[in-house]
Chain A
Amino acid sequence: MRYVLAIYENEKKMSVPPNSDAERAMNSEYFAFTESIKKSGNLVGGEALQPTSTATTVRIRDGKRLTTDGPFAETKEQLGGFYLIEAENLDQAIAIASRIPGAKTGCVEVRPVVNFTNMG
């Protein structure tokens, strides 16, 4: 199965200041993690996201498209990035998600991806 690992962090209280040693350390932690799931064959894809101020939400209501500024829902944490992984089952996906550096400061949402070929 394929899973999206969505990483939530608090944008306003960014855990590390930009261009600091802490940021460089965090980046290298992410690079190491990415490299490790690339090697293990679990990585399908993934991106870092721009902050929610750049986000747009699109809805279709009564067949009409509504475009609004901002993220889908406002909470303390904002979506900061995601990994798309291939895992055998939810347990493996959770195990990988818990290795994401952001899991320590924010949270990671594990969401199964709809498998269109398996639908009746």
Chain B
Amino acid sequence: MSWVPNKQFVLWSLVSFSLITLSLPTIIIIGASFTAGDIIQFPPEGFSLRWYERLWHLEDFRQALLRTFIVSIICTLVALPVGTLAALATVRYRIRFQQTIQVYLLLPFTIPLVVSGIAMMIFFGEIRILGSLWPVGVALCLINLPFMIWSVTATVNGLDPELENAAYSCGAWPVQTFFSVTLPAVMPGVITGALLMFILAFNEFLVSLFLTDARTVTLPVQIYNSIRSVITPDLAAVSVLYIVIALLAIWLLDKTVGLEIFLKSK
């Protein structure tokens, strides 16, 4: 029999490469944000918090951060009812053209972001709502909606319809059944979806690029514009903010539904 490389060795070499590639930018950004020098170099020139302090005084970035929060919250608030109801409808209710509707609801994924972004820019421009923050939130919700529907659908599939029927036969009205049986049962999916929507909106760059202007610019667009000029350590400090929020979201996801949920097969 011919020579066969060790399975664990081959697999772990590839996985280690992935692990390093995935984590390296994060680690380097964190390191760079604490440098005392004016440029980012290795080994870093001493430890200081001066870039964080400087950041706090940069009005532009603070405003952009605040706007990003507002936009992400709008996105999540819109996605919660819209996505949850849509997921319930596609799984639990008999609807004509089910297949067509599912394909239609996947349009935000299949249409390239650059096209969606410009398409919404044109439409919002025509109806004259460009320049305010809420259309940006709605747009970010629209392009990520399939994520919300996905995560809720996963839990709706696991919900036994007999539970709702039991509530009805015990004399519960529809609204009561919805809030005391259906909603609690699909809650893990709703929480996962809401978290994903918030994080994705917080990060979304391309669509925001088209829908914001100098007065409504959000943080990812602001970072992008700054990258194009000079790379200074204050950008690293901003990016650490993203890393902290990402860690927080992972922690929350792990506490509420458990990260292992993503390992289950359907």
Q: Do chains A and B stick together as partners?
A: no
Chain A residues engaging chain B, CB cutoff 8 angstroms: none
